[in-house]
Amino acid sequence: MGKKAFWPKMTTLGLAVSVLLMSVTPSLGQESLTQPNTSAQEKSPSRAFWWSLVGTAVPLAAVAAGAAGAGDLGAAGMVGLLFGPSLGYFYGGLFWRGLLGIGIRSVGAGVMMIAFLGSWFEGWGGDANAEDWGTLALVGAGIMLGSATWDLAAVKGAVNRRNIRLQEKTFALSPFLNPRTKSVGLSIRLSF
């Protein structure tokens, strides 16, 4: 008889402890529902801006030095100007947006290259004169500088929007106790 009376008491004690623990943990579970998702790290918009600013200023200084007589620095600066303004996007986790800026600046560099090659080879341009090639080179430079300026102006907002999207994506699993029905269960919340 002692063995039979032991199991119902242990079951009742186990259920009581479970209910007690479940009644304490809903407040802990509710906190996890409002916490942001920390699996992907938020990035600083101002740091992303500084990455883009330095990535633009250093190549521009090299291009200016190349125009002043150091030809190798000018070529390195042009290559750096393709990638530098996108550094803030890469830092901020916006890889495809960084590649878009590189693509736009590459188109501008290609237009400038065509203009310089056309001005060097006289027969290549047909009826085009030096002014036409110079105008085309300015269009290419405008595309490159416009894209770099746009990346500098937009990087903070883009990284900030990414951080907000990261906060909205949450997954929470928490136990709960329904006092009316005296039932215990799990609450799952997924938002994206």
- The residues with which 176 forms a beta bridge, in sequence order, are 185
In the prediction, which pLDDT does 27 show?
42
* Alpha-carbon span 54 to 62, nearest angstrom: 12
- Are residues 135 and 156 in contact, defined by beta-carbon separation less than 8 angstroms? no
- Residue at 178 is within a domain: no
| Domain count within the chain | 1
Q: Which residues pair with 188 in a beta bridge?
A: 173
- Per-residue pLDDT averaged across 152-180, rounded? 81
Give the contacts of 63 (CB within 8 A, at least 6 positions apart).
73, 74, 77, 78, 81
Is residue 184 domain-resident?
no
Cα-based distances in Å from 102 to 163, 181, 182: 23, 61, 61
In a domain, 12, yes or no: no
Backbone angles phi, psi at 177, to 5 degrees: -125, 125
Q: Is residue 112 part of a domain?
A: yes
Q: Write out the two tokens for 191.
A: 């938002």
Q: What percent of the chain has pLDDT over 90?
A: 35
- 2 assigned to some structural domain: no
What is the Cα–Cα distance from 87 to 20, expressed in whole angstroms?
53
Structure tokens at 49: 């801006």
Given a cut of 70, whether residue 100 has pLDDT beyond it is yes
State the Cα–Cα distance between residues 133 and 51, nearest whole angstrom.
34
Lowest mean pLDDT among 42-51, 78-87, 111-120, 136-145: 111-120
Region of poorest pLDDT, from 59-63, 137-141, 149-153: 59-63
pTM for the model stands at 0.64
**Domain assignment of residue 86, yes or no:** yes
Task: Round to whole Å and give the CA distance between 48 and 152.
Answer: 9
| Residue 151 identity | D
pLDDT bucket at 104, cuts 50 / 70 / 90 = very high
Give the gyration radius of the chain's Cα atoms: 31
Q: Tell me the backbone φ, ψ of residue 123, rounded to 5 degrees.
A: -75, -15
- Residue 94 is classified by DSSP as -
Strands (E), the chain: 170-178, 183-191
Give just the sign of the alpha carbon dihedral 131, 132, 138, 142.
positive
Whether 190 is covered by a domain: the verdict is no
Domain span at residue 149?
Answer: 45-168
Q: Is residue 147 part of a domain?
A: yes
